[in-house]
A and B are shown apart, each in its own frame.
Chain A
């Protein structure tokens, strides 16, 4: 009996154990999907804090955006985030957004940063399915290259749970430029300087330094565009200059139309048409190439007029002297007229080059990453005008020496050209002639008129280009 009882108890125990095991197994099985429904980290990102760049630099303040959705059977009461060793939440401020779909929910909370930890406690539990976003401004990642994850815990109605690891955030070590900026941050004179609202807004040393580094690629893009575009502009311009002086009406008409349309419309408009119009016609061109093309075409119209006026400003005596040596039209142009034209138009062409170089800024409106684009973005991020001042400096680096060059060349031409005869006249004399009407030419012409009282010289002036085809 006793044995029997014992036996029975044993069986009962076994059964109980099995039952418990089964129940436990069931519980585990039931619990497993619940786990899967727990708080899910949707995304974790850090705002690029490289001034003007797109990387996240360690050791410097950035904004961490952490997003998670509350699991189905959960009620979230608090979240703790942990920054990897070396990073810090110290001094950060946290903006909490709770959303149900697209609707913002009003939830009050308290965020407490402490070293590498940040605890956010909600005043009321956040219901299942809600999206929770923490935007933590003023955090810093470790100052070393690497991919970092944000770990942590959260509390639901059941107690503390481990937070799934966040997606990794790529961080780079602090750059020398940022180091210099940080150093400037601590200088008393910088602080004094910045206490003046004007200096702070237009010439903030920290931004000056960082924008120099970050605007540099934009400057290179500007230079590259204009340097690639300009040789084409010169060739096209020469071509249209000769077309405009052609004896064939149709060729002249084509050149006149081309030149007048391009000179008569804003470059801005031409850029828009090229960048928005061509793709709509199914023509897809790389924006940098298209930018170069638009700049080249626009400049070519101005250059065509400069060249034409320059060619027509060469005294008729030069054509006659060349002709008297037996030179043909092409030979005269290449050996005699163009070399002189180049010298004469160099100042005007340089001015046009400067204009073109500055006009590359208009390409920023269609998303070409050039100097102004970088400056604009940096101004948008920093809310400070200094990047535009930096851009101005970058423009001046190129334009000031060129302006100096123009002055020098103009002086040399003034000194070297005298005693030249009258100029051949084309069919039309337009305002552009005035552009090239150097004082010395006027002087030479006056001197010439004086030296030649012979009235037979009041004849129509020799027109070499139009005549020789006789």
Chain B
């Protein structure tokens, strides 16, 4: 896994530029750069420089409640964000929780965590008025960028396919000693999953769902509310496999679901970003700046070691 705040291999085609420019001209001229940058679309150094040079022009940072950053998350995605047993959402923990808290500290805000369904977060942020930020391991995609803005990416990720150990042992050509990221494993797993009658549980609205729909066209993709439901259903035999973010699945298989295992990683190289309304470019800008600082002062690496171990 690789951590970054500014890279992205995105390419901004000309027509998209035009569209964005048109849209952003309604807000402010400087937004063009901000949008391009925070959208994870443009990693061109030029754009980043532009962002930096125009930074002083940014309007005052405003949140819904002064001094507060209201953040929505499903808080059911360890070790990214979760509520420890017996606690409430106020005591949420996880990599992303620490990260958002650190960002908020830099911005002089206190965070209020709200636990909601994953698929309602982007509509809520887009709608505005109730929530400042969505932090629920969102992968930056162009579709989502049409609705909301993303901060710069703070983490790269991949997808993982989870099955029961018993089912995995019966996959023809499956060799647990092979590299989990190897194409042999993925191909072997795909061959048993892309079959009519197979049920693949995913979290609704995720990249895992999209991958399953596109790549396992013969199987039935069953979208559920959260990852725990997917894994519990898999464990109890309702589903044949679960597809979700690799680091999270690896964590759950190790910590909570001893009879499940990540049978293959799907190299998607996706990037996580924080969800912020298009109407609040000042917040996006401030968050990106804070992220860059956290990257520079080593906090990000520290958190990475804390939650994923130095090995990753």
Contacts and interface: CB of A to CB of B under 8 A. Distances in A.
Contacts of A367: 199, 201, 222-224, 233, 238-239
A381 B205 contact: yes
B213 interface: yes
Nearest to A44: B214
A59 B58 CA distance: 41
Given A48-B213, A112-B13, A367-B201, A63 B143 contact: yes
Interface in B270-294: 270-271
Contacts of B120: 379
Interface stretch (A90-98, A336-344, A389-397): A90-98
Interface string A190-224: 00000001000100000000000000000000000
Contacts of B16: 91, 93
Interface residues of B, number: 64
A103 B126 contact: no
* Most A CB within 10 A of own CB, among B13, B156, B271: B13
A277 interface: yes
Contact of B267 (A94, A102, A120, A276): A102
A377 B233 CA distance: 18
Interface in B5-28: 7, 9-16
A383 B126 contact: yes
A367 B156 CA distance: 29
Contacts of A138: 142
Interface in A62-118: 63, 65, 69, 90-99, 101-113
Interface in B179-195: 179, 181, 183
A42 interface: yes
B253 interface: no
Given A95-B142, A275-B238, A287-B238, A379 B119 contact: yes
B205 A380 contact: yes
B9 A47 contact: no
A45 B222 CA distance: 19
Contact of A103 (B2, B13, B123, B233): B2
Interface stretch (A129-137, A255-263, A418-426, A442-450): A129-137
B105 to A, nearest CB: 28
A146 interface: no
A95 B11 contact: yes
A373 interface: yes
B53 interface: no
Given A137-B143, A201-B127, A276-B233, A111 B267 contact: no
A171 to B, nearest CB: 12
Interface residues of A, number: 62
Contacts of B199: 367
A179 interface: no
B119 A380 contact: yes
A367 B239 CA distance: 10
B223 A93 contact: no
B12 A93 contact: yes
A79 B15 CA distance: 20
B82 interface: no
Contacts of A133: 268-269
A47 B213 contact: yes
A45 B215 contact: yes
B110 interface: no
B13 A92 contact: yes
B227 interface: no
Nearest to B9: A96
A373 B143 contact: no
Contacts of B118: 380
Contacts of A99: 267, 269
Contact of B9 (A106, A379, A380): A106
B204 interface: yes
A60 B224 CA distance: 27
List the 7 closest A-B pairs by CB distance, nearest first: A380-B205, A45-B214, A380-B119, A279-B237, A137-B142, A97-B269, A367-B222
26 contacts: A42-B183, A46-B214, A54-B221, A94-B10, A95-B10, A98-B269, A101-B179, A102-B269, A103-B269, A104-B2, A109-B9, A110-B11, A112-B13, A113-B15, A131-B267, A201-B126, A275-B238, A276-B238, A277-B236, A279-B238, A287-B238, A365-B225, A367-B224, A367-B238, A380-B118, A383-B148
Given A91-B16, A201-B126, A275-B238, 5 more contacts: A54-B221, A91-B15, A111-B11, A277-B236, A367-B238
